Amino acid sequence: MDRPTGPIAPWMTERMRMSPGSLLGSADIAALLGVTRQRVSQLKKDPTFPRSGTGYGAVPLWHRAGVQAWAAVHRKEDGRVGGRFAGAAADLLLVAESHARRLGVSWVDSMVIWLAVANGEAGVGLQKAVLSMSITTDEIEALIHRWKPSDEREKRTCRMNPHLQARLAAADRQVEGEGRDVVGPIDMLLAFIDEPPHKDPGHRRQSSDHVLATFHVRGLDIRELRRRLVAANDDPTVKFRTRKLRPAPARDATRPDWLDLAPNPLGHDPWGRRPWGAAFARTRDGRHLEVDGDLWFFTIDGDGFYVRATDGRPVGYRYRKLTKAPKRNPKPVNGFMEILPMPPVEMDRWPDHRFGGDD
């Protein structure tokens, strides 16, 4: 793979096949906000400044949409830098931050956005549409608590995670393409719904949004939810018949016999700290680990630590890169959870880094 010979942000943007200007380095943020590089270093320590979404080696990069949305919330005195997020989108993000703080989590993602909408803080029309599909505030909060780290440290940070920022970028592109000037709550919700689904380890296609995926298991018709949201946004007085969902399934899944796990650095059994997430396995020089044509992913437990077997090997997935993509819907193959071999090269943030634990 070619190494960058100039600024990292445009090189990484092209490598990830993103729109030009989608990723920002520190100098780009300084230019966007109209401040010095030194001031950017100070702003990055702000407990609400968005998390970096990717990077190369030790060079972090941020989603432009995330920085603009943050500026629309926390630098309202300069309406220019907030872009299309100034207004209702910024108001909703600020409310989502307050919910995250109340619930004791250090991140802002789509779950707290859905919570704010279900609580009526994006308007009564969108609230009615969500509640009519039996997506309640109590159950969204219960879902958030399942993703909450189990230790009792006081949380100082409350940052937008990269996934939310990527969906804000999608909403911004959609609004720009339609020739509109402002991203609204409906645009954010539709970006969550319209995100391409992924395959879980059982090869089922499911939404990448935690709220939608959780309620879909119980019978949520996501297309009907989308229809109702659009209708309610157009006419907040519209009425809906409530759709019931199946009871929540039991969460006492049996641990596979082969999955013997080491305690995480807090001493917790990772099996008891589910649901798990996953992240690209990255090498020390910032590359995605690829071995014999397979891309590696490492699983992350609910406390934010890598899941490891008792002998120290990572638990994760290997996805084979397709050399000849089908004409439609190319899909990764052989993606199932396993105890991986030890990585053949030095890895970034391995093995005791804590994701979301920088507060």
pLDDT at 110: 97
pLDDT band of 206, cuts 50, 70, 90 = confident
Closest CA to 49 of 63, 59, 28, 38: 63
Instruction: Look over the chain and give the mean of its residue pLDDT values, rounded to a whole number.
Output: 87
Confidence bin at 203 (pLDDT 50/70/90): very low
Q: With 90 as the cut, is the pLDDT of residue 224 above it?
A: yes
Nearest partner of 34 among 43, 23, 21, 46, judged by Cα: 43
Predicted local distance difference test score (pLDDT) of residue 359: 46
Least confident of 13-27, 71-85, 107-121, 314-328: 314-328
Give 21-51 pLDDT, tens digit per residue: 889 999 999 999 999 999 999 999 999 999 9
Percent with pLDDT over 70 in the chain: 87
CA 250, distance to chain mean position in Å, is 25
For residue 319, pLDDT over 50 is answered with: yes
The more confident residue out of 4 and 117 is: 117
State both tokens at 335.
């993606």
- pLDDT of 7 > 70? The answer is yes
Q: What topology does CATH give the domain 8-81? A: Arc Repressor Mutant, subunit A (1.10.10)
Q: What's the CA gap between 164 and 166, in Å, rounded?
A: 5
Per-residue confidence band for 150, with pLDDT thresholds at 50, 70 and 90: low
Task: Give how far Cα 120 sits from Cα of 130, 168, 188, Å.
Answer: 10, 20, 15
Q: Say if residue 166's pLDDT is above 90.
A: yes
Average confidence (pLDDT) over 137-148? 90
Q: Is 334 or 105 the better-scoring residue by pLDDT? A: 105
Cβ atoms within 10 A of the Cβ of 298, count?
24
- Report, as an integer, the average pLDDT of 55-64: 81
- Determine which of 41-55, 100-114, 139-153, 316-330 has the lowest per-residue pLDDT on average: 316-330
Residue 9 pLDDT > 60? yes
Answer whether residue 154 shows pLDDT above 70. Answer: no
Contacts of 168-176 spanning 24+ positions with Cβ under 8 A: 168/63, 168/65, 168/66, 168/69, 168/85, 168/89, 169/22, 169/63, 169/64, 169/65, 169/66, 170/194, 170/195, 171/65, 172/65, 172/68, 172/83, 172/84, 172/85, 173/19, 175/84, 176/84
Q: How confident is the model at residue 322 (pLDDT cuts 50, 70, 90)?
A: low
Cα–Cα dist 23/13, whole Å: 6
**pTM score:** 0.78
Q: Would you place residue 130 in the very low, low, confident or very high pLDDT band (cuts 50, 70, 90)? A: very high
CA distance 24 to 29: 6
**What is the domain partition of the chain in residue ranges?**
8-81, 85-234, 254-359
- Continuous segment of H or E residues that includes residue 318: strand 315-320
The pLDDT of residue 275 is above 80: no
What mean pLDDT is predicted for residues 212-226?
Answer: 95
Q: Percent of the chain beyond pLDDT 90?
A: 57
**Residue 348 pLDDT:** 86
The answer regarding whether domain 85-234 maps to CATH 1.10.1780.10 reads: yes
Identify the top-confidence range among 109-113, 206-210, 342-346: 109-113
Residue 160 pLDDT exceeds 70: yes
Q: Rounded to 5 degrees, what are φ and ψ at 65? A: -60, -40
Give the C-alpha distances (Å, rounded to integers) separating 150 from 98, 147, 316: 20, 9, 22
pLDDT of 302 higher than 90 = no
Characterize the bridge pairing of strands 159-160 and 107-108. parallel
Q: How confident is the model at residue 113 (pLDDT cuts 50, 70, 90)?
A: very high
Helices (H), the chain: 8-15, 26-33, 37-43, 64-74, 88-103, 110-118, 124-131, 137-147, 162-177, 185-194, 210-216, 222-234
